[in-house]
Amino acid sequence: MENHAFSPLYVAKLPINGIYALNKSTIELAKPIVSEIGSIPSAALTYLETINQNLVVSMNKNQKSTFTDEVKTLDSDRDADANEIKRMTSSYLKSSDPIKKLAASTLQLFLAPYWNIASLAQDIETGVVDEMLTKYKARPELIAAATEIGIDRLFASLETKNIAFDVKFKSRNTEYSERESSASTIKPAAVSAYLHFCTSIEQAVNFTPNDTLIALFNKMDELRKKYRPMEGGSKDAPTADAAPAK
């Protein structure tokens, strides 16, 4: 009897997306011939499909967060306030009223380090806006200058929106973190399901071989070889299209 054994592959060392892609490609190889591989491999395949579906649901970082739209809106709103503060300050620098012109000049000097604040990365902008507002509120002459040209309300609005943005941004990050944690929890089951299916195919091809099983075994073995480079943790998983032709 010829002994068939799969090429070595340390599946548990693959990154989560690699395990998902390996399982998906394996399922796509086996499913069209499920009626010809035997009852035990068929049952193992069904279990592998179920676990892999659970894995992709939990790991799907590309799935839109429930907070994404709110984060974008709040970011746009606070940017609008920051830009309006700049616009009005610049406008009053040309004022014929010396008091308002002086107020604008005072604010412009203060705002200079923060002039392009709206172009910063979202999370960095939050901290910089908070720093700017803290300094603004600690200096009565700045508050007086802002009041003189009517933009004190914009500073107050910017603070409110920046706080609201920070809350939503952190909520979104928590959601993503929970997805990653959930995927990590399911990973051992996904690894185990794959190994059980491979074992069932090895046993079937050794004890009840047929041309279909041997062909499937060979395709699965070639697929395993494609994933060997990922054992070091690379996240660039081969796609399902890279699987051997059926």
Span 108-122, pLDDT tens digits: 999 999 999 998 888
The verdict on pTM exceeding 0.75 is no
Averaged confidence pLDDT in the chain: 87
Residue 58 token pair: 């939990």
137 compared with 178, residue with greater pLDDT:
137
Span 12-56, pLDDT tens digits: 999 888 899 999 999 999 999 999 999 999 999 999 999 999 888
User: Above 50 in pLDDT, residue 235?
Assistant: yes
User: Above 70 in pLDDT, residue 172?
Assistant: yes
User: Above 90 in pLDDT, residue 137?
Assistant: yes
> What pLDDT shows up at residue 178?
59
Q: By the 8 A CB rule, do 81 and 161 touch? A: yes
User: Above 70 in pLDDT, residue 66?
Assistant: no
Extents of the domains making up the chain: 11-63+197-242, 68-174
User: Above 80 in pLDDT, residue 173?
Assistant: no
> What pLDDT shows up at residue 124?
87
Confidence of residue 246 (pLDDT cuts 50, 70, 90): very low
67 compared with 141, residue with greater pLDDT:
141
203 compared with 123, residue with greater pLDDT:
203
